[in-house]
Amino acid sequence: MKDPLTSQPRRMRQYWDEKISWWASSSYEERPRGPVEQLMAHLRRSVHARAVIALEMLRPHLEGRTVVDVGCGNGHFLHCCLEAGAARGVGIDISPAAIEEARQLSQRHGTADRTEWHVGRAGDGTLPPGDFVTGFGLVDWLERDECMAFFKALTGRYFVFSFSEMDGSFDEWVHYFYLIKRLEWFGNGVRAYHHPRKTILGRLKRAGLRDVRIVERPEMRFGRLVHNLHLLEEQ
Ligand SMILES: C[S@@+](CC[C@H](N)C(=O)[O-])C[C@H]1O[C@@H](n2cnc3c(N)ncnc32)[C@H](O)[C@@H]1O
């Protein structure tokens, strides 16, 4: 059967199929491999930090709610949400290997009946029903149109997602070169994208999402969170 994905998404899927297992363990379980990975694990502590901070932002609202996590990886964040009181979690990821890992994690956690895992793309313009939409480490992998489609799909939803800042710190430069330049030079067709704050805010505005806030904390290093959860409190 013909693969319905065009070559760029197919390459992205293969890239993450190969990478997700050690990426998740070095991000969340502190088991980096060689010296380069140890350096990257240092940066990935920001990955852990952004999950912790986002969870704290969501925690007061989670009881009985459904969280849709796009680019869910191995399902780590959704399981944190379930432990914090969410009723259901729906994970979507382009990588079948990531979705398989997430399914296995939910078997181990005994949450299979409260979770759904789907192979899918952020930019296909649709999102399953749910009270909150999250996406961590996702937009770095979305080209312009896919990013825009994801933002449009957020309309009418409460959301929190991360993006990578590049305003001059050492960690931001290392992350930029590791992620953007390394893949540009050696990525064999897989690309990552730097969408600066101005671009993120401009695209959100074009998608009709004007009232958003940005969270910036030292422990997230190059990572930032953008959200509209304050609208919940204003209700
Ligand atoms: C940096 S990892 C983050 C995983 C997870 N959100 C976390 O923070 O632990 C990026 C994830 O986005 C997924 N991804 C990349 N492009 C995607 C797309 N277009 N649609 C959905 N998922 C995508 C990858 O397969 C990978 O699992």
Q: State the DSSP string of 92-143.
A: EES-HHHHHHHHHHHHHHT-GGGEEEEE--GGGS---S-SEEEESS-GGG--
Q: What is the pLDDT of residue 43?
A: 67
Q: What is the pLDDT of residue 1?
A: 47
Helix (H, G, I), strand (E, B) or coil at 216: coil
Q: What is the Å distance from ligand 1's center to 62 Cα?
A: 22
Nearest CA to ligand 1 atom 3: 137
Q: What is the pLDDT of residue 34?
A: 66
Q: What is the pLDDT of residue 31?
A: 58
CA 126 to chain centre: 16
Q: What is the residue-level pLDDT of the chain in tens, covering all 235 positions?
A: 455 566 878 999 999 999 998 888 877 775 556 666 666 666 677 888 999 999 999 999 999 999 999 999 999 999 999 999 999 999 999 999 999 999 999 999 999 999 999 999 998 989 999 999 999 999 999 999 999 999 999 999 999 999 998 777 777 777 788 888 888 888 888 999 999 899 999 999 999 999 999 999 988 888 999 999 999 987 6
- From 92, 94, 190, mutation site for ligand 1 pocket: most ligand atoms within 8 A of C-beta: 94
161 Cβ inside 6 Å of ligand 1: no
175 Cβ inside 6 Å of ligand 1: no
Nearest CA to ligand 1 atom 26: 73
Q: What is the pLDDT of residue 176?
A: 83
**Atom number of ligand 1 nearest to Cα 28:** 9
153 Cβ inside 6 Å of ligand 1: no
Q: What is the pLDDT of residue 170?
A: 77
> H-helix or E-strand containing 159?
strand 158-164
78 Cβ inside 6 Å of ligand 1: no
The Cα–Cα gap between 41 and 54 comes to: 20
91 Cβ inside 6 Å of ligand 1: no
Q: What is the pLDDT of residue 23?
A: 82
Token pair of 206, please? Answer: 């074009």
101 Cβ inside 6 Å of ligand 1: no
**Atom number of ligand 1 nearest to Cα 76:** 9
Domains of the chain (ranges; CATH) run 7-234 (3.40.50.150)
